[in-house]
């Protein structure tokens, strides 16, 4: 049996209400708690892996097309929070034509809270040109990025792409240049006007090397399948005419 002394020395057990109060104090910043196992405060909105969706967007068909990233309903000012610095407002052109002041009010309420503010417009009217010109002007004035989608599925893909690329470096968006010989030669030859990748491969297989292509005559180049006289002339001129025109001409 436990002695009275050991009972007295045993620290009192923290009640649930006390634990809740203490953790609440820590979350609200009104007290400090040294226990690392207790909550460390709320995370900033958008810092998690989910898109935070405003309750006003509940029932929007685009939600069922957000599949590659999770989403959750949250009390936020934008329609979609895509990251700590990125958000989106959704606008149907049909709705905009009926309520032209709506987007002005939403942008005013949003303010400059987010660095990247996307206006995601679903084009669902037959003649969108006038309305889109107006929205483009509004976006310039409000420093927003205008993104157009022609279906709920496309709109959903834009949202999930913004979220999934949130923390990726810019390198993932840059063109990836291959290092092998064929890719380098193809990239070089396709800088000549109207020469495409198929032409480049044909030239390389016919003349074996870049040197062989450079030394080929116009007649030799014309004989290449799919090249023709105009492409042959342009390619020949690139290798044989001076880069700078003479001042006398």
- For the domain that residue 161 is a member of, what is the CATH number? 3.40.50.10130
- Last residue of a domain, which of 141, 167, 193? 167
| Residue 71 C-beta-side C-alpha neighbours within 13 Å | 28
Q: Does residue 13 lie within any of the structural domains? A: no
Predicted pLDDT of residue 175: 61
Question: Which distant-in-sequence residues (6+ apart) come within 8 Å of 133 by Cβ?
Answer: none
Last residue within a domain, chosen from 106, 134, 167 = 167
Range of the domain at 202: 181-240
CA angle 42, 17, 31 (to 5 degrees): 45
Residue 5: what pLDDT? 44
Q: Which residues contact 47 (CB under 8 A, 6 or more apart)?
A: 83, 84
**What is the C-alpha to C-alpha distance for residues 65 and 151, in angstroms, rounded to an integer?**
10
pLDDT reported for residue 121 = 94
| Same domain for 161 and 58 | yes
The confidence score (pLDDT) of residue 91 equals: 92
Render pLDDT for 178-188 as a digit per residue (tens, 0 to 9).
567 888 888 88
* Residues in the chain, pLDDT under 50: 1-8, 11-36, 38-39, 41-42
Please give the tally of structural domains in the chain: 2
Q: Are residues 154 and 192 in the same domain?
A: no
Separation of alpha carbons 86 and 24, rounded Å = 29
- Residue 177: per-residue pLDDT: 57
Question: Is 81 part of a structural domain of the chain?
Answer: yes
Give the per-residue pLDDT at 18: 42
Can you tell me the distance from the alpha carbon of 82 to that of 53, in angstroms, rounded to the nearest whole number? 9
Residue 167 CB partners (closer than 8 Å, separation 6+): 83
**What's the confidence (pLDDT) of residue 178?**
57
Strands (E), the chain: 51-53, 71-73, 80-81, 86-92, 116-122, 145-149
Q: Are residues 58 and 154 in the same domain?
A: yes
Position 173 in a domain: no
Q: How far apart are CA 113 and CA 46, in angstroms?
A: 12
Q: Contact 203/225 with Cβ under 8 angstroms?
A: no
Last residue of a domain, one of 167, 189, 223: 167
Can you give the pLDDT at residue 16? Answer: 42
Report the distance separating Cα 184 and Cα 12, nearest Å: 74
């Amino acid at each position: 049996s436990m002695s009275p002394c050991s009972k007295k020395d045993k620290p009192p057990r923290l009640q649930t209400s006390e634990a809740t109060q203490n953790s609440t104090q820590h979350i609200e910043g009104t007290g400090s708690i040294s226990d690392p196992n207790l909550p460390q405060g709320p995370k900033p909105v958008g810092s998690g892996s989910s898109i935070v969706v405003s309750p006003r967007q509940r029932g929007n068909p685009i939600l069922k097309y957000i599949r590659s990233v999770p989403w959750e309903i949250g009390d936020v000012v934008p329609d979609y929070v895509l990251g700590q610095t990125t958000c989106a407002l959704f606008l149907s052109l049909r709705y905009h034509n009926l309520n032209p002041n709506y987007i002005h009010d939403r942008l005013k309420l949003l303010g400059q809270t987010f660095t990247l503010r996307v206006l995601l417009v679903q084009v669902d009217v037959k003649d969108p040109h006038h309305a889109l010109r107006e929205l483009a002007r509004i976006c310039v004035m409000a420093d927003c990025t205008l993104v157009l989608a022609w279906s709920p599925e496309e709109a959903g893909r834009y949202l999930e792409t913004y979220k999934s690329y949130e923390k990726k470096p810019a390198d993932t968006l840059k063109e990836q240049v291959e290092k092998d010989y064929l890719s380098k030669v193809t990239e070089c030859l396709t800088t000549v006007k109207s020469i495409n990748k198929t032409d480049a491969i044909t030239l390389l297989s016919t003349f074996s090397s870049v040197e062989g292509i450079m030394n080929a005559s116009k007649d030799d180049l014309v004989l290449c399948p799919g090249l023709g006289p105009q492409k042959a002339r342009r390619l020949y001129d690139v290798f044989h005419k001076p880069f700078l025109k003479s001042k006398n001409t």
